[in-house]
Structure formats: structure tokens, C-alpha cells
Amino acid sequence: MAVDIGKFIKAPEYNVTIVTYRDVFQSAVCEEDRLSSEYQDLSAVIILDAAQMKHMGIVEGSNVRLTSKHGSVVVKTRASQQEEQKNIGFMVNSPWSNALVSIDTSDGFPGYKHIEVTIAVSKDEITSQR
């Protein structure tokens, strides 16, 4: 029987800072039905610089695991249509980005805007809403 050696090899991890933002299409779906698969499709996504994705060995549309000190989620990747700053990923505000957010603050502001994570290619399914 052939052994899939690949599954024992840990995918390389890279450090990325996630910047969160708002998206009008996702906000509209959020109004209609935030429990829908469409909401997940528009939310559980990280956008990266195309050249950096190539360097990381990440194929557009593939799943990646994002892990911070505070949580871990699997989301889909998308290449930015423009050149982006290196080591920056963009996620729309949603339960998927919020799962990674730090509350180790003392000013009442969670770390919503800039989230330090590692990113690695993943064969796992997109994390579902609780």
C-alpha cells in the first residue's frame, strides 16, 4: 500500500500581519443572513500579495491555516489584484478574523486592526461558524 508521505511533512509557516477592513458586499450579506454560506464565502478569505503567495508556495483559492496566540482558523486565499506591502494580509472583519484577535490589552481596545499570525498551507476544511 502506498504511503502518503506528504501528510507527515509539516507545511512551511510564514509570519504575516493581518489588516482588517470592511467590504460592502459582505456587509450587505451580513444584513440579510449572516449564517449563510455566502457570508462565509465572503468572510473566510485572506488576500495576499500575488508574488508573495508564489514565494510561500500558496496557490490562489487554496486553504491556509492562520494561527495567532489567541486562535486558529482555516480560510481560503485570494491574490490581490494590486501589489501589496510584503508580509501583510487583508481580511474583512468577521468571526474568522475575530477568532485571531488579541484581548491582551488594557485600554478596552482588542487588537482588531493588526493581527500577527503564522500562515501555512492546509488541507483542512474552512473553519465553520460556531
Partner 1 sequence: MSDITTWICTGCALLCEDIQVYAANGQIEKVEHACMMGKARVTGCKHTAKPMVDHTEVTIDKAISKAVHILKNADNPVLYGWGNSTSQAQIAGIELARVLNAVIDSTSSFCQGITINEILQGHMPSCTLEEVREKADVILYWGADPMSSHPRHLSKYSYFPRGDMRQHGYEEDRKAIAIDVRQSRTAKICKDMFYRIPPGSDLEFMKALLDALDGKVPKLSFDMDIKRLLELATLLKQCEFGVIFAGLGLVYSIKEDIQILSGLISKLNELSNFSLIPMVGHFNMRGFNHNLFNETGYIHSVKFTDKGPLSGVEYSIIEQLKGNADAMLIIGSDPLASLPGALLEQIENIPLILIDPCENLTTRAADVTIPCKASGIEEGGTAYRMDGEIIELSPFIQSNGMSDEMIIQRIIKEID
Residue ranges that bind partner 1, judged by CB under 8 A: 17, 19, 21-25, 27-29, 31-36, 70-71, 82, 84-85, 88, 90, 93-95, 98-103, 105-114, 129-130
Question: What's the distance, CA 42 to chain centroid?
Answer: 12
Q: How far is the CB of 52 from partner 1 (least distance, A)?
A: 14
Question: What's the distance, CA 106 to chain centroid?
Answer: 26
Q: Give the SS3 label for residue 122.
A: coil
Q: How far is the CB of 59 from partner 1 (least distance, A)?
A: 23
Comparing CB distances to partner 1, the nearer of 11 and 102 is: 102
Comparing CB distances to partner 1, the nearer of 84 and 119 is: 84
* Residues forming beta bridges with residue 118, ordered by sequence position: 15, 67
Comparing CB distances to partner 1, the nearer of 6 and 108 is: 108
Q: For residue 79, which amino acid is it? A: A
Q: How far is the CB of 76 from partner 1 (least distance, A)?
A: 18
Q: What is the chain's length? A: 130
Comparing CB distances to partner 1, the nearer of 4 and 32 is: 32
